[in-house]
Amino acid sequence: MNKKNLLGLDYNEISNELSDIENIQNYNIKQIYQWIYKKHLCDFDKMSNLPLALRSTLNEKFNLSYPHPVQIDVAKDGTKKYLFVFDKKKSIETAVINDKSRITICLSTQSGCRYGCKFCATGKIGFNGNLSAGEILWQLMAIDEINDFTNIVFMGMGEPLDNANAVFKAIKLFTDPEGWALSPHRITLSTIGIADKLVACIENTKVNIAWSMHSPFDEQRLQLMPVQNIYPLQTIIDIFTEYKNHFSNHRKLTIEYLMLKDTNISLSHANELAKIAQQINARVNLIPYNPHPFSEYKTPSNQEMLQFQQLLKSKGVLATIRKSKGNEIQAACGNLSAKYKNIY
């Protein structure tokens, strides 16, 4: 008998699934929902305020878990990487970045990615499938940091807005006051910019958004990111310009900019990037390129990166340089490649 997995279902969906159980009460359904999402429990037997008979029935008919991590890598800087294998074709990695007072969970939304950005290891392995809302949540439920994390970023494997329904559902469950009750300001969604889904994300959620731009020039961005053919820079700039009042000091809009040596860190790049950032009221997160075997790009020197940052600051742009973490275990930005990790 295939058991129905309740993880990733919202309150109404769980209610519908449990409605045929004899003598179950509405308050029992609320108890189950809160055990899952407020107390992060995936074991019916430990739901102590439920009748024993109900717990037995739940165990017979339903499930609350997915496969546990098959490998955990730990870097010297404290970064961890969990490898999950959901089936033969669908494996993903989840990164945990420990930075003093902040523990950030970097969630994957797809196994692989269909967009093929030239600098990204995930994009080089192709697309192997979307994750369900339950599989997205399980990346948190199954790790050691379940009760210690401070922030969530949808910056792992895959393009979140290419799996928008599952991602939006996961966000809803994370932020539900009757469940996980996370502030949306502790969640950031990173995207290359899929126009219609981006608008939906801005309108229907309150999470921070990080736009992966990586070049302010059309022709060069097309060379780096094939998505430029479908959703060009100006299309995304127009969306952020129209919706810039939806962002504030609490809900942040950030331009993510990967710094590639001899490629996108010239004075003209800085001038155009600053112009766009000011137009859409965005801060800029400068990301040192993290080398991996799928790409021949190189990392600029520290001096080159600081000079580029100063050029942006001189234009009045809030620009920070992200500290690379987890490089030695291929957990840094753009390095996640899951089942293909054995090539390293």
| Catalytic residue positions, numbered | 93, 333
- Tell me whether residue 148 is exposed, middle or buried, using C-beta atoms within 10 angstroms of its C-beta: 0 to 12, 13 to 18, 19 or more: exposed
322, 99 Cβ separation under 8 angstroms: no
Question: What is the DSSP code (8-state) at residue 17?
Answer: H
Spacing of C-alpha 19 from chain mean position = 33
Angle at CA of residue 160, ends 91 and 325, nearest 5°: 70
- Quote the CA–CA distance of 336 and 51 in Å, as a whole number: 44
Angle at CA of residue 247, ends 241 and 249, nearest 5°: 135
DSSP helix/strand/coil, 4: strand
Sheet with strand 102-106: strands edge to edge: 71-74, 80-87, 90-99, 102-106, 151-154, 187-191, 208-212, 253-259, 283-288, 319-321
- Quote the CA–CA distance of 140 and 144 in Å, as a whole number: 8
Helices 133-141 & 164-175 angle (0-180, nearest 10): 50
CA distances from 262 to 202, 265, 268, 298, 334 (A): 34, 7, 13, 8, 19
Residue carrying the six token digits 């010239």:
266
CA distances from 240 to 35, 171, 278 (A): 38, 21, 11
Spacing of C-alpha 294 from chain mean position = 22
Residue 128 makes CB contacts below 8 A (sequence gap 6+) with 89, 90, 91, 110, 111, 112
CA distances from 182 to 38, 101, 149, 318 (A): 10, 17, 11, 27
